[in-house]
């Protein structure tokens, strides 16, 4: 509210319950900005912030779907006013059906209206959201107001996690660690990628996670070189590695972990060499996740380290590297993605790529090498909290050393 312009009002809407087919629906996932500001995890909710309201009770208002006996019978109970006040800390709670009558006099007192849109750089918004429908209605109903973007404020705030948020991410990481250790006793030649995925779901659900924070990638053999492979329908073969990119959701917060393991429990000499190269880069990269660094400088240095490793692996020619275009470095053929992204309520969480790293930010660290000609893909991903005292690995108890992985896969 301190970052809103004087005499302004801000409105955030929940996500919709999304349909499948016939009368089916997907499981509800809350709009993360509304959840961040209120803790409310229910459909048809609206949050209104009006810092300069004439009456204190109008400074923050929460609108909720009113329940009834029929809804309770079919869907279960919804929030009562008392429950919503307790969860959100917002004292003024109304039913959504009352929204327009309460909102109209407040917006007429305001000069600026802040509305929320999805401004994530990687977003492809093909489905109209409740926020977008509200934006269209609001601009038609109040065309002479000055409209502002709420997204830049939310991106700034959410990039730095509170201690409570860090604890929830830690919990998601701990559940993910349990799942990976379960896999190490399960993976062997002949298992199917979807069976590995099933083991992940089992461990997540039995530890009070709603399930994966994103669609797991279980990619064996040559498919480990496909960055977003999600078919998970191949049989794992003796002699291949399997790349597992997964992460638990806990209380709407995400973990994001990748491990690469040998299907038969032992890395070949070449696989180990590639794996160790990626691990060296990751360990060095983690040490760069410190206050004051920037994503641009960080990625440049990680790329330089990977370039050196590729030369040692004889996958890059030193002479060609010397003459390469700085705009299109040769290592990108084998390491085409970024090494880190923000992590939080969203797996690819909010954050300005030009903003210097600050304590409280949480990043993944995920270098990888993908040698298609050798059908070997290796990625190692940990989740790192930036602190004034240095990086803290929230996934440090998830095995990543070759010797530990092999020992656990072979009953050690």
* Active-site annotation, residues: 23, 228, 245, 256, 337, 341, 348, 366, 370, 379, 381
Phi, psi of 373 (to 5 degrees): -65, -25
CA 292 to chain centre: 23
Least Cα distance to 82 among 96, 64, 100, 106 occurs for 64
Residue 29 · residue 41 · CB < 8 Å: no
Q: Which two tokens stand for residue 227?
A: 């960055």
Kind plus residue range of the DSSP H or E element containing 9: strand 8-13
Cβ atoms of 71 and 44 closer than 8 Å? no
Burial 108-126 (b: 16+ CB within 10 A, else e): eebeebbbbeeeeeeeeee
CA–CA dist 6, 210 (Å, integer): 40
Of 50, 49, 81, nearest in space to 65 by CA = 81
How far apart are the C-alpha atoms of 62 and 47, rounded to whole Å?
Answer: 5
Q: Are 188 and 265 in contact (CB under 8 A)?
A: yes
Least Cα distance to 305 among 281, 276, 283, 336 occurs for 281
C-alpha closest to that of 370 among 383, 380, 357 = 380
Dihedral, CA of residue 274, residue 279, residue 280 and residue 286, to nearest 10 = 150
The owner of tokens 């004292």 is: 91
The total number of residues written for the chain in this structure:
412
Q: For residue 166, report the phi and psi dihedrals to the nearest 5 degrees.
A: -60, -40
């Amino acid at each position: 509210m301190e970052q809103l312009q004087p005499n302004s009002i801000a409105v955030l809407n929940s996500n919709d319950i999304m349909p499948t087919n016939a009368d089916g629906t997907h499981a509800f996932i809350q709009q993360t900005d509304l959840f961040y500001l209120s803790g409310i995890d229910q459909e048809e909710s609206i949050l209104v912030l009006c810092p300069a309201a004439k009456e204190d009770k109008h400074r923050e208002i929460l609108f909720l779907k009113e329940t009834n006996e029929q809804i309770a019978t079919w869907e279960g109970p919804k929030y009562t006013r008392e429950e919503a006040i307790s969860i959100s800390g917002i004292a003024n709670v109304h039913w959504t059906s009352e929204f327009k009558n309460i909102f109209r006099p407040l917006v007429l007192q305001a000069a600026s209206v802040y509305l929320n849109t999805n401004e994530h750089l990687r977003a492809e918004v093909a489905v109209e959201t409740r926020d977008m429908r509200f934006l269209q209605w609001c601009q038609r109903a109040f065309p002479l107001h000055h409209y502002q973007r709420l997204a830049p404020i939310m991106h700034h705030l959410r990039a730095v996690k509170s201690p409570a948020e860090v604890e929830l991410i830690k919990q998601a990481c701990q559940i993910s660690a349990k799942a990976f250790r379960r896999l190490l006793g399960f993976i062997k030649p002949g298992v199917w990628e979807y069976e590995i995925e099933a083991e992940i779901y089992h461990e997540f659900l039995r530890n009070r996670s709603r399930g994966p924070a994103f669609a797991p990638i279980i990619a064996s053999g040559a498919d480990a070189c496909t960055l977003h492979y999600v078919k998970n329908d191949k049989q794992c073969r003796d002699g291949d590695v399997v790349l597992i990119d997964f992460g638990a959701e806990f209380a709407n917060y995400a973990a994001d972990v990748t491990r690469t393991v040998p299907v038969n429990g032992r890395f070949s000499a070449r696989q180990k060499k590639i794996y160790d190269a990626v691990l060296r880069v990751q360990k060095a990269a983690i040490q760069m996740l410190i206050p004051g660094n920037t994503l641009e400088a960080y990625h440049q240095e990680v790329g330089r380290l990977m370039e050196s490793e590729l030369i040692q692996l004889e996958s890059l020619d030193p002479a060609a590297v010397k003459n390469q275009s700085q705009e299109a470095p040769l290592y990108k053929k084998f390491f085409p993605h970024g090494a880190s992204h923000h992590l939080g309520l969203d797996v690819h969480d909010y954050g300005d790529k030009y903003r210097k790293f600050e304590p409280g930010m949480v990043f993944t660290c995920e270098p990888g090498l993908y040698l298609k000609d050798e059908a070997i893909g290796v990625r190692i991903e940990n989740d790192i909290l930036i602190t004034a005292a240095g990086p803290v690995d929230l996934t440090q108890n998830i095995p990543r050393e070759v010797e530990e992985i092999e020992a656990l896969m072979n009953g050690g």
